[in-house]
Chain A
Amino acid sequence: MVDRYNNSRGMFRGNLGSNKCSDGSSVSIDCKALQMKLKMIDFSIIDTILYLDAYPNCKKALDLYHKLKAEREMVADAINNSCNMPITNFNNSSDCSWNWVDNPWPWDADAN
């Protein structure tokens, strides 16, 4: 069955869609690919959160939220453990230097 509502298509459309079914494709070892995957999952979470704000009792959307949250944790852990690019300054796992301040920053073309 073709998944019409995966994270990647959702972000580029700006709308995850009403079905809220994300794919769980395999995690890449490439840090830029991991970051892109995080962007897609986070977009899915953002869109699901917006829906839940208006419909807090929707079990289907809540289940999707928990599924996405688990996916996010896996990808975020992989980035924090394998890539020299912390996602937030509250969760920096580097113990040799404060790499939060390393270039590039998200608005630099090299970071995208």
Chain B
Amino acid sequence: MWIYEKKLEYPVKIKTPNSQTAQIIISQLGGPDGELGASMRYLNQRYSSPDGKITGILTDIGTEELAHLEIVAAILHQLTKNLTPEQIAGTPFATYIVDHPVGTYPVSASGIPFDMKYVGVKGDLLTDLNEDLAAEQKARTTYDNILRLVDDPDVRDPIKFLREREIVHYQRFSDAIRIAQDNLDSKNFYAYNPSYDKKRHTCK
């Protein structure tokens, strides 16, 4: 179970609302490589992990992704607070404002609502961990794209933190896949379908 902590993992304090920036940032809320998908990916994959260390990595990264979802929502909230109709009209974000005003509704930058189709949960440890490595790189790429498009240092600062966390998560998932491969049968050169779910591995 979870208990909520009433604080952000990293502070967000934006002085100037900006609907165009909001429309870019929102992709990390509900887009294909956003934080909602990331948290759902790891928190749903962990049940079938046979290795406690990997279960721990999935649980703890999945939990941190929920904190990142909150940071992205905080950025979006502060970027859209106190916008005037003049600041909205004619911007690409106007279509979102019509449907969700100041709500933080998880959609992609191109306006597609969040979809679990972005998330892979196969129940095969190596398959899932390969998905996770790709997911962290895709999220890092998206944050790089956001940093190319956004000038406001108040927005860039928490985005840089989130980008760095994707890199650290990629490193931890690299550790996880190494742990999984170390526990494969020595004859399994190709690291696939290792009947891993039939036995529990203990620490060596």
Contact = CB atoms under 8 A, between A and B. Distances in A.
Interface of B is mostly: helix
A101 B176 CA distance: 12
B60 A89 contact: yes
Contacts of A102: 52
B55 A105 contact: yes
B52 A101 contact: yes
A42 B1 CA distance: 10
B200 A100 contact: no
A109 to B, nearest CB: 12
Contacts of B60: 89
Contacts of B101: none
Interface of A is mostly: loop
Contacts of B113: none
Nearest to B63: A89
Interface string B49-84: 000110110011000000000000000000000000
B47 interface: yes
Contacts of B55: 101, 103, 105
B126 to A, nearest CB: 19
B170 to A, nearest CB: 19
Interface string A50-88: 000000000000000000000000000000000000000
A-B CB proximity, top 6 nearest = A101-B56, A101-B52, A103-B52, A101-B53, A102-B52, A105-B55
Given A102-B52, A105-B55, 10 more contacts: A42-B1, A89-B60, A101-B52, A101-B55, A101-B56, A103-B52, A103-B55, A103-B200, A105-B46, A105-B59
Interface of B: 1, 46-47, 52-53, 55-56, 59-60, 200
18 contacts: A42-B1, A89-B56, A89-B60, A100-B56, A101-B52, A101-B53, A101-B55, A101-B56, A102-B52, A103-B52, A103-B55, A103-B200, A105-B46, A105-B52, A105-B55, A105-B59, A106-B1, A107-B47
